[in-house]
């Protein structure tokens, strides 16, 4: 691979020791002192006490929303729900015959309670309400609580509230940061403990999720957003530049990598990136991200696919002539976007796929948020008296080899009667 621009690895480290230590302190305080500690921390960090958002306020935000924005959110809701409802359809309870007299099966049962964290810092993300809540609803989760930081006036972003109203959310809290994760992980005051916490956030939110994992479930650990674009000579350099900058404007730590089989496309795309950075309103963020986390390289498709599978990007764009035929070369990514007219922002907002995706190479071992995130696959077994005799004969030998006498006895007893 020939690199025209590389990442600056020295400036992209996210979680520092002081973040871990500060988060651990916040979690300990709330775990031990509950609401009192939560209130003290929220007032210290945000300037506002933690508060429950009234359902009337949520519905009022929806009613006051412009017709155009309502229409946009409804289209997004329809598409996202359609995709995630189809996911639920493939997760069917089943029972199968293992052998004569032996049946095994699986039920998919939703968690009782889920908390959805919705960022509200540099860019409030009402789209994350849809991405987090709709899969939980389609899974059949009974209680869904949304947590989002207060704005400068003490209330969350109005479009974020409106999105909650559209989805019928009845429990929401104006709380952000690690303290929000602690509140739903341990319970605090009227905030009840959740079974699982999902949603992206800053370094403090991510570290809090890491530290509470095991006490509650989590969807994953979201680092800085990232995109890898694979392009051939048919790609449009202006499209490529726009898609890179769209990713880079998320955060100064965001990453965008262009891997192309055509050097002239690479050079032209770099030029288009600088043109955009000189004109776009988010250039103060995107420019820093480009310098630290922008990379462009040229190579063969085989070299590119090997690198992509090693990096395992959050977003993979295939801006190539026949993306469907090329996709099989790529096995590690959060979500793939095929062709010149399927940019990542469609997945971020409106097309139906989920934007809560694995980052930092974690796509090697996990996928993005989906209906299955909220479902527990529960297995069951039923053996007849006759089948137990044969199972005991062989199973007891294995137990004896392991030295587990009671296991052996439990099975042999079924074979005797």
Residue 315 catalytic? yes
User: Cα separation of 180 and 184, whole Å?
Assistant: 7
Question: Of 138, 207, 226, 314, which residue is the catalytic one?
Answer: 314
**Cα→Cα distances 9→53, 216, 255, 368, 382, Å:** 41, 33, 11, 25, 55
What Rg, from alpha-carbon coordinates, does the chain have? Answer: 25
Exposure b/e, 147-171, CB count within 10 A at least 16 = b: bbbbbeeebbbbbbbbbbbbbebeb
Residue 24 catalytic? no
DSSP conformational letter for 373:
G
Contacts with 32 (C-beta within 8 Å, 6 or more apart), sequence order: none
User: Cα separation of 147 and 130, whole Å?
Assistant: 13
Per DSSP, helices labelled H in 364-404 are: 385-402
Question: Of 226, 315, 317, 355, which residue is the catalytic one?
Answer: 315
How many CB atoms sit inside 10 A of residue 40's CB?
16
Exposure b/e, 47-61, CB count within 10 A at least 16 = b: ebebeebeeebbbeb
Which residues form the catalytic set? 314-315
């Amino acid at each position: 691979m020939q690199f025209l621009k590389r990442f600056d690895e020295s400036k992209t480290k996210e979680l520092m020791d002081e973040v871990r230590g500060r988060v651990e302190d916040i979690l300990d305080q709330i775990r031990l002192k509950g609401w009192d500690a939560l209130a003290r921390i929220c007032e210290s960090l945000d300037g506002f006490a933690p508060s429950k958002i009234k359902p009337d306020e949520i519905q009022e935000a929806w009613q006051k929303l412009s017709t155009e924005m309502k229409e946009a959110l409804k289209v997004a809701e329809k598409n996202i729900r359609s995709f995630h409802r189809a996911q639920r359809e493939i997760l069917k309870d089943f029972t199968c015959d293992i052998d004569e007299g032996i049946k095994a099966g699986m039920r998919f049962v939703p968690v009782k309670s889920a908390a959805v964290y919705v960022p509200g810092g540099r860019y409030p993300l009402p789209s994350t309400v849809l991405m987090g809540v709709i899969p939980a609803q389609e899974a059949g989760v009974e209680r869904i609580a949304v947590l989002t930081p207060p704005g400068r006036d003490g209330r969350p972003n109005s479009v974020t509230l409106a999105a909650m109203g559209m989805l019928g959310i009845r429990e929401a809290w104006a709380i952000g940061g690690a303290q929000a994760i602690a509140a739903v992980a341990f319970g605090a005051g009227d905030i009840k403990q959740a079974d699982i916490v999902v949603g992206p956030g800053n370094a403090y939110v991510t570290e809090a999720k890491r530290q509470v994992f095991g006490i509650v479930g989590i969807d994953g650990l979201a680092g800085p957003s990232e995109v890898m674009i694979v392009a051939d000579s048919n790609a449009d350099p202006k499209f490529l530049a726009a898609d890179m900058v769209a990713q880079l404007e998320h955060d100064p730590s965001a990453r965008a990598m262009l891997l192309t089989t055509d050097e002239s496309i690479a050079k032209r795309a770099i030029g288009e990136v600088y043109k955009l950075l000189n004109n776009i309103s988010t250039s103060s963020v995107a420019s820093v991200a480009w310098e630290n986390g922008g990379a462009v390289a040229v190579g063969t498709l085989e070299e590119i696919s090997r690198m992509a599978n090693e990096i395992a990007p959050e977003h993979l764009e295939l801006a190539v002539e026949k993306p469907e035929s090329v996709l099989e070369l790529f096995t590690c990514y959060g979500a793939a976007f095929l062709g010149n007219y399927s940019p990542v922002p469609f997945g971020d907002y409106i097309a139906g796929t989920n934007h809560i995706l694995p980052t930092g190479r974690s796509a090697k071992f996990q996928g993005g948020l989906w209906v299955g995130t909220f479902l527990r696959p529960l297995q069951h077994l039923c053996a007849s008296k006759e089948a137990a005799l044969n199972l005991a004969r062989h199973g007891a030998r294995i137990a004896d080899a392991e030295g587990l006498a009671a296991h052996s006895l439990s099975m042999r007893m079924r074979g005797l009667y």
